Chains A and B, each alone.
Chain A
């Protein structure tokens, strides 16, 4: 990991499933716009079967992070994995994403971001804004930020999808300052 800290960009890669190119490129632009960090899109990473919990029919996001930490050594500041798989951690029924707080890796799931998951009609704009918010949120964690008490802030904890829909796709001014501070200190 030490070698990777020198680089100053972010890697986005599909994890365990195909993700549309248009989603990845738009996401890269979005991150650049919000954080001023260049993104590179990399090839899909396959994950081992050990991440799959057959009883729950879901994928263990912590196991995915563990796998990424030990198997990929990207020369980037942060690595964000995007997956269609439904993610969980052992104690929770589901998670929208997971990151190593103050670490290098994060993974987010699109599974529960589709309006269809909640029996709502398709809505590409809503879907994409959920992806943006979830990604920026997990990226914030990866930079060391914790949850914010401002409901509009992207670092507000998303317990339900309604929380995600209510917040904006940007940091509040305090979290943005903190983000910059952590980014400076991450170099």
Chain B
């Protein structure tokens, strides 16, 4: 009956597909693959932009007060008179680096691009469950990004209260903060539509025979991630609405009584709570770190299974650990607030939950490492990035433990140690996994493979330089150097001994920038000149490789029927060392 009902309409659409024209096929398309590519390109541009902001900031940190060479004049007299960066401008760049990297770069790439492109293929579906909502999600993200970028050009510049936007500073900040809040509303809407879509697609559109325990781990990671996005973002939206009211309607949700700014008493009615903002913010922002890491783990798992030519070790434990981690991530948020004076009872609770949540993370990492055992490993470019992910994420995770325990956090809070810790997780951790994913699935998307010599240059250059950026941060942080310092600590006596590291880190950051050039070149060059790829170039088992390359509208030539689990590599008695999920 379902067929009878809508068939005329769809067939019509199908016939006229070619005639839809460039706009409908490539710009306002509702095909999940086109939307995935749109998400991918946009988010990669934002990643590059957010990284460029940091490369400029690193000049100021290494050589405080000296004019920025070559490009100093671009920023205008308002921001960098004579090419010398003003503190206000540093704060804008810092806040926007964080915001852009997290909300416009990594999440849209990990969920918007990888999730969109791969989830329907991996579950054997013709598209996402709600294609139009999917397109709306991308365009909402796009508008949010434009609003954020536009804020650089208004009087007072972009938001400058950190990516955390702590009140009351953010409430009395310049107009850029209003742009930030409005931009966030668009981004939250986008992620709401996207996550609903992914969840419904996974639950409703799985192919015949694809039971939950036959889903590739990547799909599980996307499922849990989507639940986190769905349920953790709304409280930030609520907080954003309240902050907008504070800024535009003069309310006092986050404005305490008796606040005096630069000697002038504020005229608000008062009675608000600054801690309320922090609670609402971190209620999102802690689950958000799992949003940053889970899709990365999913990608790494796929690539490890494929390149070791054997099943993942402990698939079930991986799945259960991920689901448990998703639940727990909602009750650890206040470990970011040990120093706010919220009280020892609350601190004890959150420090306990934080220690508990580290268990599933360790399980996941251990399972991935054990998966390498006894494999005949193919050291392809994606595999190199995936292998590097393991120790890098390990360092990031282990350095997090002292931050989760209140007594040690008192010393480390708000120092460069924290910056080092979470960057190990998100930069050589998540970003490397995302690079791995790009090299791995590029042949399916484009029909040609990326060049592996350039890939190896990209990998080794990035791997070495990125450690020279983030490792010294632990040393500086342990010496007590605070984050968000405009001069990198030059004015503090206690920082003098570790000040020389600023130059090391900055040079490493620019070197890292240079080593992205082979990647960018490779990315575009391979579209036309890369080696032609077969449908299943990595000899993989999962469903996305059982499609034509690149997959057409509707994805599969015939409806796939799944007969086995996702990682049936090197089955005893099989004719080849991989047995695709849909091959009987």
Q: Do A and B make up one complex?
A: no
Q: Which residues of B contact A (CB under 8 A)?
A: none
